[in-house]
Amino acid sequence: MNIALIAHDKKKKAIVQLAQTYEHVLNVHTLYATGTTGTRIMEKTGLSIHRFKSGPLGGDQQIGARISEGTMDMVIFLRDPLTAQPHEPDVNALIRLSDVYEIPLATNASTAVLLLKELENISEI
Q: Which residues are catalytic?
A: 60
pTM: 0.95
Question: How long a stretch of residues is the chain?
Answer: 125
- The answer to whether 78 and 11 are in contact (CB under 8 A) is yes
What are the backbone dihedrals phi and psi of residue 74, each rounded to the nearest 5 degrees, phi first?
-160, 145
Q: How far apart are CA 39 and CA 61, in angstroms?
A: 18
Q: How do residues 85-122 score in pLDDT, each as one tens digit?
A: 888 888 899 999 999 999 999 999 999 999 999 999 98
What are the structural domains, with CATH classification, of the chain? 2-124 (3.40.50.1380)
Please give the pLDDT value at position 18.
98
Give the residue ranges of the annotated binding site: 8, 12, 34-37, 54-55, 87
Residue 24: count other Cβ atoms within 10 Å of its Cβ: 9
Please give the pLDDT value at position 83.
87
Give the residue ranges of the annotated binding site for substrate: 8, 12, 34-37, 54-55, 87
